[in-house]
Amino acid sequence: MTAAVREAIDGLIRELAEAAGVNTKNVFELTFVGNPVMHHLLLGIDPTELGGAPFALASDSAYELWAKELALENVNGDARVYVLPCIAGHVGADTAGVVLSEGPHLQGETMLVVDVGTNAEIVLGSKERLLACSSPTGPAFEGAQLTSGQRAAPGAIERVRIDRETLEPKLRIIGSELWSDDPGFPAEAKGTGITGICGSGIIEAIAEMYLAGIINQDGVVDGGLARRSDRIVQEGRTFAYVLHKGEPEVRITQGDVRAIQLAKAALYAGCRLLMDNLGVDEVDRIMLAGAFGSHIDPLYAMILGLIPDCDPKKVQNAGNAAGTGARIALLNKGARREIEEVVHRIQKVETAVEPRFQEHFVAAMAFPHKTAPFARLREVVDLPAPKEVEGAEGPRERRRRRG
């Protein structure tokens, strides 16, 4: 696996140099960030211990070495490599890059930085104190394990709005700036078609379903609305919402809603756990990082309850912050010493052994949350009142029957 990783990187270096019109022999400096497994594989370190509790790193140090030690050939023979340090078992050098890029350790206010992915890496704090953890969100945010889910590619639904009265949707797909009710949309969409829904799209779809009353605060699809709209269709003992009636049909099922609930509850619980450990009930600023995080609409992330309540104007997308941190370390050797020092004073919180994680997780299953008031969000969004819905069994009723 180490050989495969190094070979792939060597090929990417060659492709990048060709695209930039640079002779590979003029590549003298390289920096790397990555999750702990990729970090270890690149360096030829056995990552086996990362696969089981207590998820121990074989090394959390930064590395400076010759490129030839990593068998990289498409660089100068005297090229040097710098690998940023890892923070904890599931909080890797990529998160160190995020910290270097966003600088929570330099802030006078409390900043929450979230890198959303299959594992969400979370950093919270200020110049006084920093904490970090990883939360097991699963692959749903990336479109996996959803009925019509797919990766973010041309044709994927990425933006959704639902009319509160008619329950009719309008949507945007990757590859077009037009909404589906714009006159030119059919022509623009003809090339790719509407192929499925990606992560940013599913977040907006479910948040809009909640705002429109299609699902209630517990995430149950209201079957009673089938009398009002043919978008609500029965699926066995539950109901689904048809987002796109074409070929292929794109629908949001009860199972899809549950998958997003589980993912968002895990993320929120991780954030809340760090807040408990820091001794704060609110944060001043939230940064959403990563390839996926940079495409989330911050307001919809909060409506869903993906992140804690915050002034919506202070929730921002950070883009590829890990890559930015790698570039900073590439160009500034002083930044390398800075991140090494910061990483060693970040307090690691292990969500798997924290008793309050499950408590926070259960409360966060509701939209946006079972008990948190989300007062800042309510200043800008009219959230629906709690309601009972028709035509679906909740998980508690099913468990009682089996008992």
CB atoms within 10 A of CB 248: 11
363 located within any domain: yes
Same structural domain for residues 378 and 257?
Answer: yes
3-class DSSP assignment, residue 357? helix
Asked if 304 contacts 367 with a C-beta cutoff of 8 angstroms, the reply is yes
Same structural domain for residues 219 and 119?
Answer: no
| Per-residue pLDDT tens digits for 125-153 | 999 999 999 998 888 887 788 999 999 99
Element (H, E) at 82: strand 80-83
Same structural domain for residues 49 and 195?
Answer: no
Element (H, E) at 130: strand 130-135
- 399 pLDDT band, cuts 50/70/90, is very low
| Residue 45: CATH number of its domain | 3.30.420.480
Q: What is the structure's pLDDT at 57?
A: 83
Q: Which of 38, 63, 83 is the last residue of a domain?
A: 83
Asked if 284 contacts 109 with a C-beta cutoff of 8 angstroms, the reply is yes
Q: What is the structure's pLDDT at 385?
A: 92
Domain count, the chain: 3
CB atoms within 10 A of CB 158: 22
Q: Which of 83, 111, 127 is the last residue of a domain?
A: 83
Q: What is the structure's pLDDT at 52?
A: 72
Q: How many residues can be counted in the chain?
A: 403
Q: What is the structure's pLDDT at 140?
A: 85
Same structural domain for residues 153 and 138?
Answer: no
Same structural domain for residues 331 and 360?
Answer: yes
400 located within any domain: no
From the list 160, 115, 395, 161, the residue with the least C-alpha distance to 261 is 395
| Per-residue pLDDT tens digits for 103-132 | 999 999 999 999 987 789 999 999 999 999
Same structural domain for residues 231 and 357?
Answer: no
3-class DSSP assignment, residue 159? strand
Same structural domain for residues 338 and 283?
Answer: yes
Over residues 337-365, the mean pLDDT reads 94
Asked if 26 contacts 91 with a C-beta cutoff of 8 angstroms, the reply is no
389 located within any domain: no
Give the amino acid at 350.
E
CA distance 252 to 255: 8
Domain region containing 61? 1-83
| Per-residue pLDDT tens digits for 15-28 | 999 999 999 999 99
Same structural domain for residues 135 and 268?
Answer: yes
Same structural domain for residues 136 and 258?
Answer: yes
136 located within any domain: yes
Q: What is the structure's pLDDT at 257?
A: 97
| Residue 271: CATH number of its domain | 3.30.420
From the list 223, 202, 207, the residue with the least C-alpha distance to 164 is 207
Same structural domain for residues 192 and 303?
Answer: no
| Per-residue pLDDT tens digits for 47-58 | 888 777 667 788
- 391 pLDDT band, cuts 50/70/90, is low
**Site of tokens 């309540």:** 309
257 located within any domain: yes
From the list 86, 80, 207, 201, the residue with the least C-alpha distance to 149 is 201
CB atoms within 10 A of CB 100: 26
Same structural domain for residues 285 and 205?
Answer: no
Q: Find the radius of gyration of the CA atoms of the chain.
A: 23
